[in-house]
Homo-oligomer: A and B are copies of this chain.
Amino acid sequence: MKNIIIASTSTLHNGSYLDYLLPELKQHFSKATTVLFIPYARPSGISHDSYTEKVKEAFAKINKSIIGIHEFQNPIEAIENAQGIFTGGGNTFVLVNELYRNNVLDVLEKVIKSGTPYLGTSAGSNICGLTMNTTNDMPIVYPPSFRTLGLVPFNINPHYLDPDTNSTHMGETRETRINEFHFFNPQPVIGLREGSWLKVAGDSIQLKGSLTARVFRKNQIPEEVLPETELKDLK
């Protein structure tokens, strides 16, 4: 039975790393003493060791140990044996490239679908969708494919931002970008604002946090969905 948290962000403005999620994570990882951390997305190019250290400090607050996947000789076995898994944010292209390079995408999908509790934030959430085509990140490396885990039957857009009506900037808004996505791709996209997360429990997919989320379906007007909305039929 799937048991997944797909969070828009790790950190809220004025908050510290993972703070707002800790009560939820305590429950989510209740049966795990050690959680496997996947640091591949490397925000600001941070090393795997330093990133893992940062995550250790946060998880210590709920009495969980953290071990980085890069500390294992065999990352596939590390995933197979994990009691819980967390993939942190950073650059989604770098993350996906490393997942392919280490040949762990398939085993990750397998164990999460079999019930290993999983947490993703930002880039680690992007990969829960069908593809990474709706990331906000810069394509700083060229991954072998944009296909990701497909743990939910739609795509994720984390850090979703509403158009800024005061802006004089002429670059595309997030909504325009997602509309362009739908000229070339069929699947719905959920824009998760910072502070929102999806809770996947078996077949159920619920929006959590206090904010609404924005759902984009091809050739339809976007829809705001309320917290606690069931999204399992979004496909």
Contacts and interface: CB of A to CB of B under 8 A. Distances in A.
A179 B44 contact: yes
A171 B45 contact: no
This chain: how many copies in the complex? 2
A96 to B, nearest CB: 10
A139 B145 contact: no
Given A137-B177, A142-B145, A179-B45, A13 B170 contact: yes
Contacts of A185: 140
A174 B44 CA distance: 12
Contacts of A170: 9, 11-13, 159, 194
A130 to B, nearest CB: 13
Interface in A83-102: 90-91, 93-94
Contact of A142 (B146, B159, B179, B180): B146
A141 interface: yes
A146 B93 CA distance: 12
A124 B90 CA distance: 27
Given A44-B176, A44-B180, A45-B183, A13 B138 contact: no
A182 B94 CA distance: 12
22 contacts: A9-B171, A11-B170, A12-B170, A42-B183, A43-B180, A44-B179, A45-B179, A45-B180, A45-B183, A91-B180, A94-B180, A133-B140, A134-B138, A134-B140, A139-B139, A140-B180, A140-B183, A140-B184, A159-B169, A159-B170, A159-B171, A161-B171
Those 6 A-B pairs whose CB atoms lie nearest each other, nearest first:
A45-B183, A13-B168, A159-B171, A138-B177, A140-B181, A142-B146
Given A138-B178, A139-B146, A159-B170, 15 more contacts: A13-B168, A42-B180, A45-B179, A45-B180, A45-B182, A90-B180, A91-B180, A94-B184, A132-B139, A137-B177, A140-B177, A140-B183, A140-B185, A161-B169, A161-B171
